[in-house]
C-alpha cells in the first residue's frame, strides 16, 4: 500500500550560465517556474514543495500563486543535494514517493508526471527514471525510504548508483524530460519548441 506522492521542485539555482534568473523567464504565456508547477500539479503530484535560495524572494512570490509550500535552503551556492534535503524535511510522513524536479526542465508534460506516479504505485520500492530516445531525463521518482538515505555528504547520483537492481525506467514520448535549460541558447530553443506547439 503506497501513500501520497509529493514533489520537490528545485528552484534555488543561481542561473550563472543563464545570466538572469531562469525561474522567472517568460515561457508560453507564463513563467518557467509556473509552467513547472502547473505540470506537477496537473499530473497529480501532492504536497508540492518549492525550494528557493536565500535570496529567492521573487521566485517564492511567483511560486505562491500555486497551492504549494515554499521552503528556503541555507546554501548560498544552490547545491542540489542541500535543496533536496531541505525539501525532504518539509514533506509530511504520509508521502511515500517523491518526484525530484529541477526547475530547468520546464517542458515536462503532466502525462509524464502521472505516468511516474502510476509507476511508483505499481513498484513503490523502485527509483523511477523517465527516458526519451534512450536518454535518461527528469523528474525522477524516489521512494521516501531511499530518499531518506541522502546524507550530508551524498548526492542523488549516489542513490541512483548504489543499487542498480532498484532502478526502473519509464520510456516516454515526452522530449521535455531531456530538454534542460542552462544557457540563453537552451532557453531560446525551448521557447521555440513551446511556440511551435510541438510539446
108/18 Cα distance (integer angstroms) = 20
Dist. CA 74–CA 23, nearest whole Å? 18
Domain that holds residue 174: 4-196
Q: pLDDT tens-digit profile of 82-119?
A: 999 999 999 999 999 999 999 999 999 999 999 999 99
Which backbone phi and psi does 10 adopt, to 5 degrees? -85, 105
Which of 94, 83, 107, 99 is CA-nearest to residue 14?
83
pLDDT-based confidence at residue 199 (cuts at 50, 70, 90): low
pLDDT band at 198 (very low <50, low <70, confident <90, very high): low
pLDDT tens for 21-65 read 999 999 999 999 999 999 999 999 999 999 999 889 999 999 999
Domain CATH for 163: 3.90.550.10
Give CA–CA dist 81/159, Å, rounded. 11
Asked if the peptide bond before residue 158 counts as cis, ω within 30 degrees of 0, the response is: no
Instruction: Look at the chain and report how many structural domains it folds into.
Output: 1
Are 84 and 55 in contact by the 8 Å Cβ rule? The answer is no
Please state the pTM of the whole predicted model. Answer: 0.94
Is a pLDDT exceeding 60 seen at residue 73? Answer: yes
Amino acid at each position: 500500500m503506497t501513500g501520497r506522492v509529493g514533489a520537490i521542485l528545485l528552484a534555488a539555482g543561481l542561473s550563472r550560465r543563464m545570466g538572469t534568473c531562469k525561474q522567472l523567464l517568460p515561457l508560453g504565456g507564463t513563467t518557467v517556474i509556473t509552467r513547472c508547477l502547473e505540470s506537477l500539479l496537473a499530473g497529480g503530484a501532492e504536497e508540492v514543495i518549492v525550494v528557493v535560495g536565500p535570496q529567492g524572494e521573487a521566485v517564492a512570490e511567483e511560486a505562491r500563486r500555486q497551492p504549494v509550500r515554499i521552503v528556503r535552503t541555507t546554501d548560498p551556492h544552490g547545491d542540489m543535494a542541500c535543496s533536496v534535503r531541505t525539501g525532504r524535511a518539509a514533506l509530511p510522513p504520509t508521502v511515500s514517493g517523491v518526484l525530484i524536479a529541477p526547475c530547468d526542465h520546464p517542458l515536462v508534460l503532466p502525462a509524464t508526471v502521472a505516468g511516474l506516479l502510476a509507476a511508483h504505485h505499481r513498484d513503490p520500492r523502485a527509483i523511477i527514471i523517465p527516458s526519451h530516445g534512450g536518454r535518461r531525463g527528469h523528474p525522477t521518482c524516489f521512494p521516501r525510504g531511499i530518499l531518506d538515505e541522502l546524507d550530508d555528504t551524498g548526492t542523488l547520483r549516489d542513490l541512483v548508483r548504489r543499487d542498480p537492481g532498484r532502478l526502473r525506467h519509464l520510456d516516454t514520448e515526452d522530449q521535455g524530460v531531456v530538454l534542460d535549460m542552462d544557457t540563453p541558447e537552451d532557453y531560446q530553443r525551448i521557447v521555440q519548441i513551446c511556440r511551435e506547439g510541438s510539446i
